[in-house]
């Protein structure tokens, strides 16, 4: 500071120069003390001091550690500019046993008159729908019930639901059910506000046009009856695009419900198989959003905020939700599966699903989900035990978890510390684990967790897939650009990506 000061002798200037010299000596002395004896307070300690090199990195890194300095000197291709901001969006959430009874008052408070209630034939017979009907009747609301939602919905079942809702023209929607019901209601709401739109206008690119949602939608209240998708918090709706034999969806933060009512009483009727598969979806939501590429590594940077995708990459806020959801799932899912009377475990799993929904709804998912869409869409005839449906079905949670050991073995090298933190959540002692073994250790922990949970397919062979299906599975995964762009370690060049996906499917044939 003082090395470049030029002092011109004159009246009083010698005294001023002497003062400046003493101040400079004091500053230098303080710097010396700071570097040789850093203060013990972590808020004021010198981060560049050599002692800090021996400290353990926090499980959730600081924002500054993940945000590189921006340079302005060199012109860049706009399509290659990395993101510099992240945006958090989630529905309002009300959590508590018995909260479903309030839904009629919520709609009245919104000045709603006509309500479309969306559910499926099974949930329509359960207590959750009985409570909703009573709540809406008590408020004198005009409502109609659509109960033809399909489990793992198809594009044609979504279109049927949309056409059913159009003549009624409701002021608001209420979804009562699992992720299939909530996602169907989201799209009924979307196309009610865009009656002129073609169905493919909003479908995720490259399969659809990926049009952003730039209109305000009608109120949607989501009441989940399963503990899995977290759809009550997100702006994502997933379905099978039958013409392409793969799952896809529509994603935009404006699609998210106005309110999610998470009532643990509504999940008590889930069969054990549904508890397990929906819980595995929570598990993979947590792991994938925790290990997704950092938000500031994603390209391109949006030219307008409305173009910023719902899935943005891991960020300091999503990390908190994802890691806590992972820890809760590891602790409570086995209890919820093995003891149908364990109400504490059921409640904690509903909360974990919501936490994971906030995490992945902003950070995104990657390979487990990207690979799961063709797995379920190209089902060779597998019907999961415990699901009361007439046609073959690979539940969504099963389709994502079956590749998880192979996926995290592959992604481990991208960020060993995060993969080790995830392994630690499974109870692994990581104190002596080498960084290069992080992926393998997490894969082993996942394999053991799935085996201990019981009744889970130990690889794609158990679902009926063989080597002859791999090429088709790879081709069904490649269009899932929305999630694959967040996968750490995945090649940008198409043929290299194809080769990596092929190896992953080969490794996922057996755990």
Count Cβ atoms below 10 Å from residue 161 Cβ, excluding itself: 22
Q: Do residues 226 and 134 share a domain? A: yes
Residue 165 lies inside a defined structural domain of this protein: yes
Mean pLDDT of 243-270: 91
Phi, psi of 412, deg, nearest 5: -55, -40
Spatial CB neighbours of 372, under 8 Å, sequence gap ≥ 6:
247, 396, 399, 400, 402, 403
Domain limit, last residue, from 221, 241, 267: 267
Name the nearest CA neighbour of 87 among 241, 218, 231, 254. 254
Q: Do residues 212 and 228 share a domain? A: yes
How many distinct structural domains can be found in the chain? Answer: 2
Contact 253, 233 (CB under 8 A): no
Residue 183 lies inside a defined structural domain of this protein: yes
In the DSSP assignment, the letter for residue 154 is B
Q: Do residues 451 and 343 share a domain? A: yes
Q: Residue 188 maps to which CATH number?
A: 3.40.50.1970
Q: What is the pLDDT of residues 151-178, one digit of tens each?
A: 889 999 999 999 999 999 999 999 999 9
Q: Do residues 233 and 289 share a domain? A: no
Count CA atoms closer than 13 A to 364's CA, side-chain side.
29
Q: Do residues 216 and 279 share a domain? A: no
Name the nearest CA neighbour of 355 among 414, 406, 282. 282
Residue 439 lies inside a defined structural domain of this protein: yes
Q: Do residues 319 and 405 share a domain? A: yes
Name the nearest CA neighbour of 163 among 141, 139, 146, 177. 146
- Residue 116's DSSP bridge partners are 144, 173
What pTM value is reported for the model? 0.83
Residue 65 lies inside a defined structural domain of this protein: no
Count Cβ atoms below 10 Å from residue 176 Cβ, excluding itself: 31
Q: Residue 464 maps to which CATH number?
A: 1.20.1090.10
In the DSSP assignment, the letter for residue 301 is P
Predicted local distance difference test score (pLDDT) of residue 483? 94
Spatial CB neighbours of 100, under 8 Å, sequence gap ≥ 6:
128, 131, 132, 135, 223, 261, 263, 265, 266
**Can you count the helices (H) and strands (E) in the chain?**
16, 8
The two structure tokens encoding residue 56: 């353990």
The two structure tokens encoding residue 487: 């996968």
Residue 386 lies inside a defined structural domain of this protein: yes
Phi, psi of 270, deg, nearest 5: -65, 130
Residue 70 lies inside a defined structural domain of this protein: no
Place of tokens 């602790």: 331
Name the nearest CA neighbour of 389 among 274, 280, 246, 278. 274
Residue 213: pLDDT over 80? yes
Predicted local distance difference test score (pLDDT) of residue 399? 96
Residue 84 lies inside a defined structural domain of this protein: no
The two structure tokens encoding residue 138: 């008590």
Cα–Cα distance, 181 to 449 (Å, whole number): 29
Predicted local distance difference test score (pLDDT) of residue 25? 61
Residue 37: pLDDT over 70? no
Domain limit, last residue, from 207, 233, 267: 267
Q: What is the DSSP string of 400-441?
A: HHTTHHHHHHHHGGG-HHHHHHHHHHTT---TT--GGGHHHH
Predicted local distance difference test score (pLDDT) of residue 317? 96
Q: What is the dihedral of CA 122, 127, 129, 132, to 10 degrees?
A: -170
Q: Do residues 121 and 261 share a domain? A: yes
Cα–Cα distance, 91 to 254 (Å, whole number): 10
Mean pLDDT of 354-375: 96
Q: What is the pLDDT of residues 411-469, one digit of tens each?
A: 999 999 999 999 999 999 999 999 999 999 999 999 999 999 999 999 999 999 999 99
Residue 331 lies inside a defined structural domain of this protein: yes
Q: Do residues 249 and 277 share a domain? A: no
Count Cβ atoms below 10 Å from residue 155 Cβ, excluding itself: 18
Q: Do residues 469 and 353 share a domain? A: yes
With residues binned 3-state (H G I as helix, E B as strand, rest as coil), the percentages for the chain, rounded to 5, are: 50, 10, 40
Q: Do residues 279 and 243 share a domain? A: no
Q: Indicate the helix (H) or strand (E) that contains 193.
A: helix 179-193
Q: What is the pLDDT of residues 288-310, one digit of tens each?
A: 999 999 999 999 999 999 889 98
CA angle 318, 394, 260 (to 5 degrees): 40
Place of tokens 């080769």: 499
Place of tokens 């972590």: 42
Q: Indicate the helix (H) or strand (E) that contains 16.
A: helix 13-36
Binned at pLDDT 50, 70 and 90, residue 248 comes out as confident
Q: Do residues 190 and 303 share a domain? A: no
Place of tokens 């709603």: 112
Q: Do residues 196 and 280 share a domain? A: no
Mean pLDDT of 104-119: 98
Phi, psi of 39, deg, nearest 5: -65, 150
Cα–Cα distance, 329 to 348 (Å, whole number): 8
Domain limit, last residue, from 207, 237, 267: 267
142-146 vs 114-118, strand pairing mode: parallel
Binned at pLDDT 50, 70 and 90, residue 18 comes out as low
Range of the domain at 132: 92-267
Predicted local distance difference test score (pLDDT) of residue 495? 97
Mean pLDDT of 211-237: 95
């Amino acid at each position: 500071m003082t090395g470049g000061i030029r002092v011109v002798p004159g009246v009083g200037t010698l005294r001023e120069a002497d003062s400046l010299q003493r101040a400079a000596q004091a500053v230098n002395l303080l710097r010396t003390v700071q570097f040789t004896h850093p203060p013990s307070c972590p808020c004021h300690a010198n981060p560049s001091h050599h002692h800090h090199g021996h400290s353990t990195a926090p499980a959730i890194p600081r924002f500054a550690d993940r945000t590189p300095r921006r340079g302005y000197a060199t012109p860049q291709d706009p399509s290659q500019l990395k993101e510099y901001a992240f945006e958090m969006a989630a529905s309002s959430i009300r959590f508590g046993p018995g909260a479903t009874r309030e839904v009629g008052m919520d709609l009245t408070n919104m000045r709603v008159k006509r309500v479309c209630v969306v559910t499926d034939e099974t949930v329509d017979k359960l207590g959750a729908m009985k409570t909703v009907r009573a709540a809406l009747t008590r408020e004198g609301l005009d409502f109609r019930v659509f109960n033809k939602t399909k489990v793992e919905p198809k594009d044609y079942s979504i279109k049927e639901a949309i056409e059913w809702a159009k003549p009624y023209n409701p002021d608001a929607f209420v979804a009562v059910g699992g992720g299939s019901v909530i996602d169907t209601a989201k799209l009924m709401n979307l196309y009610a506000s865009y009656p002129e739109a073609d169905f493919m206008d909003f479908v995720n690119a490259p399969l659809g046009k990926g049009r952003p949602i730039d209109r305000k939608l009608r109120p949607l209240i989501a009441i989940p009856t399963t503990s899995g998708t977290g759809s009550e918090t997100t702006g994502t709706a997933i379905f099978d695009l039958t013409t392409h034999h793969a799952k896809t969806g529509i994603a935009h933060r404006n699609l998210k419900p106005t309110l999610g009512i998470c009532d643990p009483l509504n999940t008590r009727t889930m069969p054990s198989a549904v508890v397990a598969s929906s819980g595995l979806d929570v598990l993979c939501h947590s792991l994938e959003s925790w290990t997704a590429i950092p938000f500031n590594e994603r390209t391109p940077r949006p030219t307008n905020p409305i173009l910023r995708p719902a899935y943005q990459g891991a960020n300091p806020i999503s990390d908190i939700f994802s890691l806590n959801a992972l820890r809760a799932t590891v602790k409570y899912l086995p209890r919820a599966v093995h003891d149908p009377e364990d109400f504490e475990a059921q409640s904690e799993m509903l909360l974990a699903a919501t936490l994971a929904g906030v995490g992945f709804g902003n950070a995104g998912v990657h390979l487990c989900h990207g690979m799961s869409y063709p797995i379920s869409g190209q089902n060779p005839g597998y019907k999961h035990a415990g699901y009361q449906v007439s046609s073959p079905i690979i539940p969504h949670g099963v389709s994502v978890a079956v590749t998880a050991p192979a996926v995290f073995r592959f992604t481990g090298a991208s960020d060993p510390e995060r993969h080790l933190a995830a392994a630690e959540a499974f109870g692994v002692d990581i104190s002596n684990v080498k960084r290069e073994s992080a992926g393998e250790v997490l894969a082993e922990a996942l394999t053991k967790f799935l085996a201990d949970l019981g009744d889970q397919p130990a690889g794609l062979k158990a679902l009926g897939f063989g080597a002859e299906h791999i090429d088709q599975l790879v081709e069904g995964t490649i269009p899932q650009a929305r999630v694959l762009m967040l996968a750490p370690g995945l090649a940008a060049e198409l043929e290299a990506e194809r080769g990596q996906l092929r190896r992953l499917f080969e490794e996922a044939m057996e755990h």
